[in-house]
Structure 1
Amino acid sequence: MPSRKPHTNSHHGCVQCKARRVKCDQEQPSCARCRKKDRNCTYQHLTSSYDPFKNYNDASSTPSSSATLYAIPSRRGFIKPEPTAETTPPNESLSTESSSNLSSSSLKSLSHQGIIYPLYNEPQILDATSQELLYHYDTEVEVLSCFHDAVIRHSFAHPYVYHAVLTVSALHLASLTAPFQGTPASRSPHLVTALAHKAFALEALRSTVESMSGPTCEPALAASGLLTVCAFALLHAGVASDTIDLLAQIMALYRGTVAIFRFGRQVLHTVPSGTIPRLRQSVVTATACETPWPEAEAAVDKVLAKVLELTEASTDAKEKKNALMDAGFKLKTALRRVAAARGVHNVACMWLAMVNSRFNESVKAREPLSLILVAHWVVTLRYVTHIWWVQGWPERTIRAVWEEVGEQHPDLMQWVSEEIRGDVRDE
């Protein structure tokens, strides 16, 4: 039997070109065709519901090489390479002098739209763009303290951690220059860099998750946590993304992170890890204390009463109803924990990992009662005022949910609306 004829179609073209079945040049943030036609340009695998934890069959194309730097110590454990005459200018290849010290087999680089991402098997100096991103992450970006040590250890040994770090750093820079602006013309150049790194990180992480082992568990856990932060941070970087769709992606990432964590606990005796015990302790601490939050629990009870009215005419309808009831009861528990530890982001976000996959699917499908439960949960983030990538999410989510289902169930959205208005009054 003759082999299948290879094709040259783009796997990662924009949504608009795919819908028209035309070739996309994959330029970001807007491809040439969309710019010419003055259309919005959306990359589904970069800014929407791309899930690295799905059971894909295709292999990742991202090289898995290690990276090391000539560097000086910094205050948080990361590095800033010393400036030298051999430092590579942005968007250019290595200088003749520096590249002459490398064999062709030792230097591996990933190039995307003129951006160079070197990954080295032996010490060498990074390009200027990556230097600045790493230094910015080290000095300016506060992300997840529980993952910090793992990020430091694994960022130059595993490409998915390396690219996740650069994604977070670039998104933070983009948030400083284009906060909450979604038009292509206003997008920061840092956003283009962030999306490219995010694509590489997701692809490499997906391949790792498919064949998880003890040695790759901790770096995969660190990368998954960073990519979840990236999904939150897209809201601040000027991405014109659907808030509900982005929330569905965040929920999938949280569930994936928890799955890696549970795997790590099983293999901890064979592969020592300092991150997993610390995470375990934080979970125990977060679940140990609960304080009643009567208004919030009463509001969720109103939603659950509406869920009870749903019919069970089919197996699918019964599963949907059970998933909603389960999510609602777990949300009441989560709200009590938040009431005992207001402002602690990992306590506030824990509910995202508590709900089952069927509920995630209903959120992605924009089923009204699932969105209303999400709107009740996101109120807990209004107390997390010290983390940049969380800020703004309560208002944006509640606005998006209201536009979808608010007019159908205004009574169920009453407490949520009052909480947000109360937040404005407190300011």
Structure 2
Amino acid sequence: MPLRRSHTKSRRGCLECKRRHVKCDEGTPRCTLCKKRKLECRYPPPSEDEDSPLASSSTQDETESGAVTPSRDFSQATRLLETRLFHQYMTSTYHTLSQDGLSAHHLSMTIPHMATSCPYLLDSIHAFSALHLASVETDNRASWLDHAARYQSQACAGLSKVLPEMSPQDYEPAFVSSIIIMLFAIGSRVLSTENRPLDPLLVVLEARTLISGPAMLFSRINEGGIDAQLDGWLCVSDTEEVLETRKHDWYGTLSLRLLSEGSMITRNSGGSPVEDTHVLFNLHKDIMTSLARLHSIIDTSKGSDQPIYFATWQQLQQAIKPWPKIGPHGGPLGWPLFLSDKFSSLLQNGDWIARVLFLHYGIAMRLLCHRWYVRDWGRRLVSATLEQLDEIPPEWEETISWIRRAAARED
């Protein structure tokens, strides 16, 4: 009787190969068999791989900062994947977050070094890099989105364990991780393959919750008096405005370089840089003109809600006006942080001034369309808001008409 050929079991095979009971070569982002058959290739989370002795281990390691991290899977596929993701961050992803070189050193040197002793920060970097790859390698988008979601879940779980009893040494890595997690939340909606109905207000309120995390940590860093590794990145301004960090509260000092629009506005694949820049500068001019008209309308309005209109208009104007420079409030991406519950209630009740203010925010997000994690998000917010509108009052027809044209404008 012929001898049976030995067969080494794939311990970290993809789900499709496991279903077919064939050996998987554990290639990333797709194994050879899935690539050959043009199938979607997904790998199980480390916790689901019962064949791996490392995955079944219940031991936990403690970092120097005292953060407890779950046991990790160190299979060859995972090691290769994480090397690919870290390489993507170091060679490409961090460039997309840098503002005119101001924060490049911190993004490429300080933060990666910080991540070597902070697993949840490392996981957030892996997640964001996988999301970036999903935007670049469209043929493998589903696979990269799957990897991105897995590392994002690990990053959130690790950060949540540190937050309750955080020491000053945890402030900076937690701050950076929370910013990356927040940007991931925006980018994942932009790149999602799911076609779900969009509730614009709910999305912006979720953004407000996510932004409040970095804001709180920024306040602790600013008040802690510790030897900050991120010193210079947070407090040095390269704009015409001087960020007087010692004279404002933490809302005013929330420059959050990763949230700011910066000057790098020519990263779109369509059109020439000159054409793209010209279009966006014209759009910015039109937004500021429309906001000036809206201010006059608010000024003549009567009622107890006028202070709410003015406060919201002022924050929106301050977020948009410095573009393409870095403003002190985080630009359009930072505006949800200042959204009051009273304004949200007006918006939910169909107040027209509140609606028009909110639509201007959606148009302002169009100024960030060259960022891969924003893209057409502003247009989608505007379209979803317009779909909910009932009959438009005559006094708002011209404004709504301009908003429709601005949202449809090519990037």
TM-score (structure 1 length as normaliser):
0.57
- Aligned residue in 1 for 2:150: 196
1:358 matched to 2:358? The reply is no
Aligned counterpart in structure 1 of residue 191 of structure 2, from 236, 252, 255: 236
Give 1:132's match in structure 2, choosing from 75, 84, 105.
84
3-state DSSP of counterpart to 2:321: helix
Counterpart position of 2:317: 332
Show the counterpart of 2:360.
376
Deviations 1:331-359 (A, max 9, x none): 12333223x63999953434333x15526
Match of 2:209 in 1: 252
Give, in whole Å, the separation in 2 of the partners of 1:343 and 1:356: 17
Give, in whole Å, the separation in 1 of the partners of 2:383 and 2:45.
44
CA offset at residue 226 of structure 1? 0.6
Unpaired runs of 5+ in structure 2?
1-14, 16-42, 47-51, 63-69, 244-283
Question: Structure 2 CA distance, aligned partners of 1:233 and 1:118?
Answer: 26
Query: How far apart in 2 are the matches of 1:296 and 1:257?
Result: 31
Q: Which amino acid in the other structure matches residue 132 of structure 1?
A: R
Which residue does the alignment assign to 2:124?
164
**How far, CA to CA, are the matches of 2:144 and 2:320 in structure 1?**
36
For 1:207 and 1:304, how far apart are their aligned partners in 2? Answer: 46
> One-letter code of the match for 1:169?
S
TM-aligned CA deviation for residue 287 of structure 1: 6.2
Which of 300, 325, 331 aligns to 1:347? It is 331
Tell me which of 367, 376, 399 is aligned to 1:392: 376
**Equivalent residues in 2 for 1:67-78, closer than 5 Å:** none
Distance 2:345 2:110 in 1: 34
Cα contact 2:127–2:149 (8 A) shared by 1 = yes
What letter corresponds to residue 97 of structure 2 in structure 1? L
1:233 CA drift (Å): 0.8
Report the CA distance shift for 1:287/1:326 in structure 2 as closer, same or farther (over 3 A).
farther
Secondary structure of the structure 1 residue equivalent to 2:322: helix
Q: What is the CA–CA distance in structure 2 between the aligned matches of 1:252 and 1:303, rounded to whole Å?
A: 30
The 3-state SS of whatever aligns with 1:280 is coil
Hey, what's the Cα distance between the residues in 1 that align with 2:71 and 2:59? 16
Q: TM-score, normalised by structure 2?
A: 0.59
More displaced, 216-225 or 250-259?
250-259
1:189 is displaced (CA, Å) by 2.0
- What is the alpha-carbon root mean square deviation over aligned residues? 4.4
Cα deviation, residue 265, structure 1: 0.2
1:143: Cα distance to partner? 4.2
| In structure 1, C-alpha distance between the alignment counterparts of 2:343 and 2:87, rounded to whole Å | 36
Partner residue of 1:296? 290
CA shift for structure 1 position 215? 0.7
* Structure 1 position 219, deviation (Å): 0.5
Distance 1:137 1:243, change over 3 A: farther
Report which of the two structures shows the higher radius of gyration computed on alpha carbons.
2
Whole-Å separation in 2 of the counterparts to 1:127 and 1:392: 34
Go from structure 1 to structure 2 and tell me whether the alpha carbon gap of 1:296 and 1:117 turns closer, same or farther (over 3 Å shift): farther
- C-alpha separation in 1, matches of 2:349 and 2:96: 29
Residues matched between the structures, number? 303
2:219 aligned with 1:262: yes
Q: What SS does structure 2 have at the residue aligned with 1:273?
A: coil
The 8 Å contact of residues 251 and 360 in structure 1, kept in 2 or not, is answered as no
Q: Deviations over 1:244-294 (max 9, x none)?
A: 233322222222212211111000x2x211425422224975567xx9875
Q: Is the 8 A contact 1:178 1:236 kept in 2?
A: no
Q: Equivalent residue for 1:216? A: 170
1:206 to 137, 142, 160: 160
Does structure 1 conserve the Cα–Cα contact (< 8 Å) formed by 2:175 and 2:217? yes
For 1:216 and 1:329, locate their aligned partners in 2 and report how far apart those are by CA, in whole Å.
34
Q: Corresponding residue for 1:12?
A: none
Distance 1:118 1:153, change over 3 A: same
**Does 1:278 find its partner at 2:233?**
yes
In percent, how many aligned pairs have the same letter?
A: 18
Residue 416 of structure 1: which of 390, 400, 403 is its match? Answer: 403
Distance in structure 1 (CA, Å) of the matches to 2:160 and 2:349: 26
Unmatched segments (≥5 aa) in structure 1: 1-27, 29-89, 109-115, 180-185, 313-317
